[in-house]
Structure 1
Amino acid sequence: MDVSEASFQIIADLLESRTGQHLTESRRWRVNSALAGIFRAHGISNIDQLVCLLAAPPRTLDGPDLAQEVVEALLNNETYFFRDKPTFDQLPGEILPELAERRQGARRLSIWSAGCSTGQEAYSLAMLFIEQAERWQGWTIDILGTDVSHRAIEAARSGLYSQFEVQRGLGVTQMLRHFEETERGWQVSPEVRRMVRFQQHNILGAHPGRMAFDLVLCRNVLLYFDRRTRAEAFDRLAQAVLPDGFLMLGAGETVVGHTERFVPTSRRASFFEPPSSGAALRKIA
């Protein structure tokens, strides 16, 4: 089913206004398949009819927000546990030990998983600390997962995953240690869930906490922004990272040519840091 230029642009503008994501022509092919569930739920035949409904006044004040349903359906929530493992392994191998040395006095680490989708990345971080419990004894570890999608955050908070989801990135030993098999799926253990909190948040909006973070993971999120919005996102992320903290991007992402707020770290793929260093905590207004 073809998508008319006018309807495609209206849908693209809606997505960009609510999330900052740019719906490029290369992603046009998946619009119909992404919205198929909405078509069925609302008895809609095509994109043009959907656009007409979006332009109409809401039927009831307490009814579902059709526009938000469309946005949620278009978001790419692809993720899995310990995603891009060779890159992720740099965390326990190099980054976290370095941060531990810098924070030895406070014995506290604050980590933000921005664009966490359905929670696998944030829970993977918690598992790292649990599996090195002796190393982190006496430390306070705060892990925050955020995503622009309300539906994704609700799934993350539930900590419940299908057999397919739990097998992606996890070995059998990790599955048995950190999950319990239930009739509804695989439930993240209370020990892991206690370490992580989730909230809905747009990285283009206000900072999600009062203090800056030691480590921010924002992987495969900026890919969906145009150049101007990506620069804005980097400015927001720079406000969220401590002067001697780290930013982790996706394997295909870089700061080079996009911002001067971060520079590549030496010999560490996908990790970046502010160009200046310092240990003082910064409050975010």
Structure 2
Amino acid sequence: MEASEASHQIIADLLEARTGQHLTESRRWRVNSALAGIFRAHGISNVDQLVCLLAAPPAGPEGTDLAQEVVEALLNNETYFFRDKPTFDQLPGEILPELAKRRQSARRLSIWSAGCSTGQEVYSLAMLFAEQAERWQGWTIDILGTDVSHRAIAAARSGVYSQFEVQRGLGVTQMLRHFEETPRGWQVRDEVRRMVRFAQANLLAPHHPGRIPFDLVLCRNVLLYFDRPTRSEAFARLAGAVMPDGFLMLGAGETVVGQTERFVPASRRASFFEPVTRPVAATLQKIA
């Protein structure tokens, strides 16, 4: 194995160890471009030199975690508001009304967006409720967004987006209704932000940062980065996080068929799945 190939494998192993994501051969082409900013910041020119820096002790007691910088750079944080709109439209059209019937006595809905990236999915969910304020009056709506990336969660918590970001998936009316233009960018309005909260967390970690189970879990375009054993582990954790009569929403190109026996497709609802059983694992209890 040549040095550069060995170095790429070390980087791949680092990503998998910290996130569970499997860096396939088809994705390795983007490693150098993804790490270009780190190369410039540290005055190096290739992955071999980066691996040498990773092996060296950090400079000073307050040295930055270079390994975490590398992981953050390799994560794919591609997202936008109301992503895959035909699939997303099933939420206000079918899924949320169905959950409203099932939770009518409690008048509370708890939703988890796993792998929420920079927050657009979470705020999209909150906008659905804000746009039907009369329908949900008197309800408690709690939407939790988590992501393995510290950087992405910090951006999500700020609720501030650039002109380019805010126009991806939003019409002008929605943009003006739910955002306020500020010197820093477009800020999500308070009535939307009050419904959401964010936490840095790994889907595969032994503890969950929120109170489980949830009525609805979204885990879109996350599982496709895992190898089969890791995907099976992720499905087990998701199954333990969904109410027995709740729903799991996957990405448009993802399915449970042939992947797990813990979920089955929801009738006539593309990308939505229902739990077969709900194994309650001690590892998924709320963090005190």
Give me the CA root mean square deviation. 1.5
What's the offset of the Cα at 1:207?
Answer: 2.2
Q: Which amino acid aligns with 1:116?
A: C
CA offset at residue 266 of structure 1? Answer: 0.4
Residues 14-93 of structure 1: matches in 2 within 5 Å? 14-93=14-93
Q: 1:45 to 1:127 in 2, by over 3 A?
A: same
Contact 2:14 2:71 in 1 (8 A): yes
Does the residue aligned with 2:268 lie in a helix, a strand or coil?
coil
Secondary structure of 2:199's match? strand
Question: Could you tell me how far apart the structure 2 residues matched to 1:161 and 1:207 are?
Answer: 27
Residue 241 of structure 1 pairs with residue 242 of structure 2: yes
Q: Does 1:155 align with 2:155?
A: yes
What are the within-5 Å matches in structure 2 for residues 200-219 of structure 1? 200-205=200-205, 206-219=207-220
1:80-99 Cα offsets, whole Å, 9 max, x none, are: 00000000000000000000
Structure 1 residue 261, shift from structure 2 partner: 0.7
User: With structure 2 as the length reference, what TM-score do the two structures score?
Assistant: 0.95
Q: What CA distance in whole angstroms lies between the structure 2 residues aligned with 1:112 and 1:132?
A: 20
- CA offset digits 1:193-227 (Å, max 9, x no partner): 11100000000012222320000000000010000
Q: Secondary structure at the match of 1:209?
A: coil
Amino acid at match of 1:265: A
User: 2:267 aligned with 1:266, yes or no?
Assistant: yes
Matched letter for residue 158 of structure 2? S
Q: Does 1:6 align with 2:6?
A: yes
Alpha-carbon distance in 2 for matches of 1:182, 1:40: 31
Following the alignment from structure 2 to structure 1, what is the Cα–Cα distance between the partners of residues 146 and 240? 16
Once the two structures are TM-superposed, the CA of residue 58 in structure 1 deviates from its matched residue by 1.3
Counterpart CA distance in 1 for 2:249 and 2:211 is: 21
Q: Aligned residue for 1:178?
A: 178
User: Which stretches in structure 1 are left out of the alignment for 5+ residues?
Assistant: none
- Give, in angstroms, the shift of residue 283 of structure 1: 11
4+ residue runs over 4 A deviation: none
State the distance in 1 between where 2:134 and 2:256 align: 35
Give 2:132's aligned amino acid. Answer: Q
User: Following TM superposition, by how much is the alpha carbon of 1:62 offset from its aligned partner in structure 2, in angstroms?
Assistant: 1.5
Corresponding residue number in structure 1 for 2:130 = 130
Does the aligned pair in 1 maintain the 2:109–2:140 contact within 8 Å? yes
CA distance in 1, matches of 2:212, 2:24: 35
Contact 2:111 / 2:215 at 8 angstroms: preserved in 1? yes
Native 8 Å contact 2:265 2:272 kept in 1: yes
Structure 1 residue matching 2:197: 3-state secondary structure: strand
SS in 2 for 1:4: helix
Partner of 1:141: 141
Distance of aligned partners of 1:3 and 1:104 in 2 relative to their CA distance in 1, 3 Å threshold = farther
Equivalent residues of 2:212, 2:242 under 8 A apart: no
Q: Distance in 2 between matches of 1:76 and 1:211?
A: 27
1:106 aligned partner = 106
Deviation at 1:269, TM superposition (A): 0.3
Equivalent pairs, count: 280
Q: Which amino acid counterpart does residue 210 of structure 1 have in structure 2?
A: R
Give the TM-score of the pair, scaled to structure 1.
0.96
Letter in 2 for 1:219: R
1:194 aligns with 2:218: no
Instruction: Give 5+ residue unaligned stretches, structure 2.
Output: none
Give me the whole-angstrom Cα distance separating, in 2, the residues matched to 1:226 and 1:40. Answer: 32
